[in-house]
Amino acid sequence: MADLHPLVMEALSKAPLNIFARFLQDKVNSTGSTISDEEAEALAEHVIKKRSGTFRVKDDDEDRTINLSITADEVQSVLDEIDSFNRDKLPQIVVKTVRSSAQIILRSLDKDWPAQKTHDRARMDQFRENLEDRWGGAFDILRMMYTISIEIGGEVAKRWQRPTKTQGALRHVLTHLHARACQVTNEIICLMENGLADGAMARWRTLHEIRVVASLIAEHGNDLAIRYLAHEAIEAKRAMDRFMVCHAALGYAPLSKREIKDVERSYAAALQAYGDNFGSQYGWAALHLSMKKPRFDDLEAAAGQIAMRSYYHMASYNVHASTKGIAFRLGLLDDSGVTALAGASNAGFVDPAQNTSQALVEVTSLLLTRNGRFDELVEMEILIALRDRLPKALDRANRELERAHRRQLKAERTRSKP
């Protein structure tokens, strides 16, 4: 897009001169002579620079001398008009110019977009092809793991459809958390296939949370699963309270009195059934962890996942708008010289891929700890074998990338030498 700012600023800067030129043009016209707009502007510049003296214009009809004098009151009148223009008219002109310029440029963009889209798509297709050449072997391992996990989850979900009094809630929670884990894994693969390692790491953060919650519920059984499901009433009340504060600003109608009453009734019933501690963010785990208000890191510790805390914080850089989020990017090589990353990159896939494989295996294994079928146990062994194979494939691709990067830097330094 062309830089319009200098052109607009130049045009607006001439507004005071144009006002003064129009005043001089009217003054000349009052003598019976006429001058063009261009001549009036030149006369205005002459007066501003020299304040007095002779100014000549071409007149094919006759040679005339016109004496002009400007009083202090007239100068003040011109200054007042300029001030009024800057105060009242200029803002409107700027807004109108911005809108009209945007419409003109948008029409041009609409016309040119099909060609630009084709160009962008071809460029991205080439990038993905190159990415697959280097990382495809490692990505294939994770793709296989995803497919196997989907198959195991589907088989277990079918078998667990039969009602049971002692395990119903537990089965419901584990199968649904496993389905979410598979979906998030698919999202991570999609992000990595498109060169978005930091986004993949951010999605792993969600997968890690699913793993922690699923592990904890699997350990403590059906009673904790029941509490986990009942906690939806607490989350619904929190969501309602937030919505009622901001619905007007969002342009939405408030909830009806009946809707509010239903949410509040369910909330009160949950607290009455499970106690006041149940009302905290992770209150569903309060009793089993013997804590009033457990935090997520408490859940991590109880699930034996506290070692992943540093990775969890690293993944959070890509979720929140902290300074670390702009200072640290997985997709940037340390010595690349690039300070910001606004799109795809061919680096940074080791951590999200490896962490994803570990989390997916663990969540899937939770489905098979209770009377797993032989076929599913075999699939689980394959899943573990693939997980163990992945680090070497990732390391091989990463080393190839680093070697290629060093060769590129060396070539650039050679070219830059005089």
pLDDT in tens, 165-212: 788 999 999 999 999 999 999 999 999 999 999 999 999 999 999 999
Segment 132-151 shows an average pLDDT of 97
Q: In the prediction, which pLDDT does 336 show?
A: 60
Find which of 75-89, 188-202, 375-389 is predicted with most confidence, using mean pLDDT.
188-202
> Please, which pLDDT band fits residue 410 given cuts at 50, 70 and 90?
confident
| Token pair for 17 | 């001169």
Lowest-confidence segment of 83-87, 154-158, 170-174, 197-201 by average pLDDT: 83-87
- Is the per-residue pLDDT at 241 higher than 80? yes
How does DSSP assign 105-134, residue by residue?
A: HHHHHHHHHHHHHHHHHHHHHHHHHHHHHH
* Spatial separation of the C-alpha atoms in residues 21 and 214, rounded to whole Å: 78
Q: Please report how the helices 5-13 and 15-29 are oriented relative to each other, as an axis angle in degrees rounded to 10.
A: 30
Percent over 90 (pLDDT), the chain = 59
SS3 state of residue 185: helix
Q: In the prediction, which pLDDT does 226 show?
A: 97
Segment 374-394 shows an average pLDDT of 93
Segment 18-38 shows an average pLDDT of 76
Phi-psi region of 195 (alpha: psi -120 to 50; beta: other; left: phi over 0): left
> Please, which pLDDT band fits residue 62 given cuts at 50, 70 and 90?
low
- Are 381 and 188 in contact, with CB atoms under 8 Å apart? no
Residue 181 burial (C-beta neighbours within 10 Å; 0-12, 13-18, 19+): buried
Q: In the prediction, which pLDDT does 16 show?
A: 76
- Is the per-residue pLDDT at 75 higher than 70? yes
User: Residue 145 CA to chain centroid, in angstroms?
Assistant: 28
Helix, strand, coil distribution of the chain in percent, nearest 5: 75, 0, 25
- Is the per-residue pLDDT at 129 higher than 90? yes
Segment 359-386 shows an average pLDDT of 88
- Is the per-residue pLDDT at 51 higher than 70? no
Lowest-confidence segment of 25-39, 179-193, 293-307, 356-370 by average pLDDT: 25-39
- Is the per-residue pLDDT at 123 higher than 90? yes
| Token pair for 4 | 């319009």
CB burial of 371-394 (b: ≥16 within 10 Å; e: otherwise) equals: ebeeebeebbeebeebbebbbebb
* Spatial separation of the C-alpha atoms in residues 79 and 72, rounded to whole Å: 10
Q: What type of residue sits at position 269?
A: A
Beta strands in 260-322 (DSSP E): none
Q: In the prediction, which pLDDT does 33 show?
A: 73
Q: In the prediction, which pLDDT does 170 show?
A: 95
- Is the per-residue pLDDT at 335 higher than 70? no
Angle (CA) 212-138-122 rounded to 5° is 110
Q: What is the mean pLDDT of the chain?
A: 88
> Please, which pLDDT band fits residue 246 given cuts at 50, 70 and 90?
very high
SS3 state of residue 300: helix
Number of neighbouring beta carbons within 10 Å of residue 54 = 7
Percent over 70 (pLDDT), the chain = 91
* Spatial separation of the C-alpha atoms in residues 210 and 203, rounded to whole Å: 11
* Spatial separation of the C-alpha atoms in residues 103 and 332, rounded to whole Å: 37
> Please, which pLDDT band fits residue 371 given cuts at 50, 70 and 90?
low
Q: In the prediction, which pLDDT does 394 show?
A: 97
Lowest-confidence segment of 136-150, 296-310, 334-348 by average pLDDT: 334-348
Q: In the prediction, which pLDDT does 57 show?
A: 67
- Is the per-residue pLDDT at 408 higher than 60? yes
Angle (CA) 273-279-284 rounded to 5° is 70
